[in-house]
Chain A
Amino acid sequence: MIKIENISKNYNNVKALKKVSFNVKDGQLFGLIGPDGAGKTSLFRILTTLLIPSEGKASIDNFDTVKNYKEIRRIIGYMPERFSLYMDLTVQENLNFFATVFNTTIEENYDLIKDIYQMLEPFKNRKAGDLSGGMKQKLALSCALIHQPKYLLLDEPTTGVDPVSRKDFWEMLQKLQTKGLTTLVSTPFMDDAELCDEVALIQNGEIMSIDSPKNITQKYPHKLWEIITLNNYHTLKILDNFTNKISAFAFGNAIHLACSEKTNKEDIESFLAQNNIKAKSIKIINPRIEDAFMELMT
Chain B
Amino acid sequence: MTAEKVIKVKKLNKTFGKFIAVNNISFDVKKGEIFGFLGANGAGKTTAIKMLTGILSSTSGEATVAGYDINKQRNKLKENIGYMSQKFSLYEDLTLKENIRFYGGIYGLSNKQIKQKTNEVLERLNLQKIENTLISEIPLGWKQKIAFSVAIIHNPKIVFLDEPTSGVDPITRRQFWNLIYQATQDGITVFVTTHYMDEAEYCDRISMMVEGNIKAIGSVEQLLVKYKSKNMDEVFIKLARNNENI
Q: Do A and B bind each other?
A: yes
Q: What are the residues of chain B within 8 A of A233 when measuring CB–CB?
A: 181
Residue A226 at the B interface, CB < 8 A?
Answer: no
Which of B39, B42, B171, B201: most chain A CB closer than 10 A?
A: B42
Residue A50 at the B interface, CB < 8 A?
Answer: no
Q: What are the residues of chain A within 8 A of B163 when measuring CB–CB?
A: 133, 160
Residue A284 at the B interface, CB < 8 A?
Answer: no
Q: What are the residues of chain A within 8 A of B42 when measuring CB–CB?
A: 123, 131-132, 134-135
Q: What sequence of 0s and 1s flags, for each residue 44-88 of chain A, a beta carbon within 8 Å of any chain B beta carbon?
A: 000000000000000000000000000000000000000000000
Residue A96 at the B interface, CB < 8 A?
Answer: no
Chain B, 159-198, CB within 8 A of any chain A CB: 163, 166-172, 174, 177, 181, 195-198
Known pairs A35-B169, A251-B198, A297-B169; A165 contacts B140 (CB<8 A): no
Structural contact, A35 and B181, CB atoms closer than 8 A: no
Structural contact, B39 and A162, CB atoms closer than 8 A: yes
Partner of B140 from A37, A132, A189, A251 at Cβ < 8 Å: A37
Beta-carbon nearest neighbor of B241 in chain A: A164
- CA of A30 to CA of B158, assembled, Å: 42
Chain A, 280-298, CB within 8 A of any chain B CB: 290, 293-294, 297-298
Structural contact, A188 and B198, CB atoms closer than 8 A: no
Structural contact, B197 and A290, CB atoms closer than 8 A: no
Q: What are the residues of chain B within 8 A of A35 when measuring CB–CB?
A: 139, 141, 169, 171-172
Residue A1 at the B interface, CB < 8 A?
Answer: no
Partner of B202 from A36, A123, A159, A250 at Cβ < 8 Å: A250
- CA of A189 to CA of B169, assembled, Å: 8
Q: What are the residues of chain B within 8 A of A123 when measuring CB–CB?
A: 42
Residue B231 at the A interface, CB < 8 A?
Answer: yes
Chain A, 237-277, CB within 8 A of any chain B CB: 249-253
Residue A161 at the B interface, CB < 8 A?
Answer: yes
Q: What are the residues of chain B within 8 A of A252 when measuring CB–CB?
A: 197-198, 201-202, 231-232
A-B contact count (CB 8 A): 102
Structural contact, B177 and A156, CB atoms closer than 8 A: no
Q: What are the residues of chain B within 8 A of A249 when measuring CB–CB?
A: 170, 174
CB distance from A17 to the nearest CB of B (A): 15
- CA of A135 to CA of B86, assembled, Å: 13
Beta-carbon nearest neighbor of B38 in chain A: A162
- Place the interface of chain B in its size category: 35 or more
Chain A, 134-152, CB within 8 A of any chain B CB: 134-135, 137-138
Q: What are the residues of chain A within 8 A of B229 when measuring CB–CB?
A: none
Q: What are the residues of chain A within 8 A of B77 when measuring CB–CB?
A: none
Beta-carbon nearest neighbor of A14 in chain B: B137
Residue A190 at the B interface, CB < 8 A?
Answer: yes
Chain A, 1-26, CB within 8 A of any chain B CB: none
Structural contact, A161 and B201, CB atoms closer than 8 A: no
Q: What sequence of 0s and 1s flags, for each residue 113-139 of chain A, a beta carbon within 8 Å of any chain B beta carbon?
A: 000000100010000001111110110
Q: What are the residues of chain A within 8 A of B172 when measuring CB–CB?
A: 35-36
Q: What are the residues of chain A within 8 A of B241 when measuring CB–CB?
A: 164
CB distance from B213 to the nearest CB of A (A): 16
Which of A119, A130, A133: most chain B CB closer than 10 A?
A: A133
Q: What are the residues of chain B within 8 A of A298 when measuring CB–CB?
A: 171
- CA of A215 to CA of B84, assembled, Å: 39
Chain B, 231-246, CB within 8 A of any chain A CB: 231-233, 236-237, 240-241
Known pairs A161-B41, A162-B195, A252-B201; A290 contacts B168 (CB<8 A): no
Beta-carbon nearest neighbor of A160 in chain B: B166
Residue A34 at the B interface, CB < 8 A?
Answer: yes
Known pairs A134-B42, A138-B41, A163-B233; A188 contacts B16 (CB<8 A): no
Structural contact, A36 and B195, CB atoms closer than 8 A: no
Structural contact, B41 and A293, CB atoms closer than 8 A: no
Partner of A130 from B16, B232, B237 at Cβ < 8 Å: B16
Structural contact, B41 and A162, CB atoms closer than 8 A: yes
Beta-carbon nearest neighbor of A203 in chain B: B169
Known pairs A132-B46, A159-B166, A250-B177; A164 contacts B236 (CB<8 A): yes
CB distance from A206 to the nearest CB of B (A): 16
CB distance from A154 to the nearest CB of B (A): 13
Q: What sequence of 0s and 1s flags, for each residue 203-246 of chain B, a beta carbon within 8 Å of any chain A beta carbon?
A: 00000000000000000100000000001110011001100000
Residues of B within 8 A of A (CB): 16, 39-43, 45-46, 86, 139-142, 163, 166-172, 174, 177, 181, 195-198, 201-202, 220, 231-233, 236-237, 240-241
- Name 16 interchain pairs, CB-CB below 8 A, sorted by A: A34-B169, A35-B139, A35-B172, A37-B140, A119-B41, A123-B42, A132-B41, A133-B41, A159-B167, A162-B195, A165-B40, A165-B41, A189-B196, A252-B198, A252-B201, A294-B170
Residues of A within 8 A of B (CB): 34-37, 119, 123, 130-135, 137-138, 156, 159-167, 188-190, 233, 249-253, 290, 293-294, 297-298
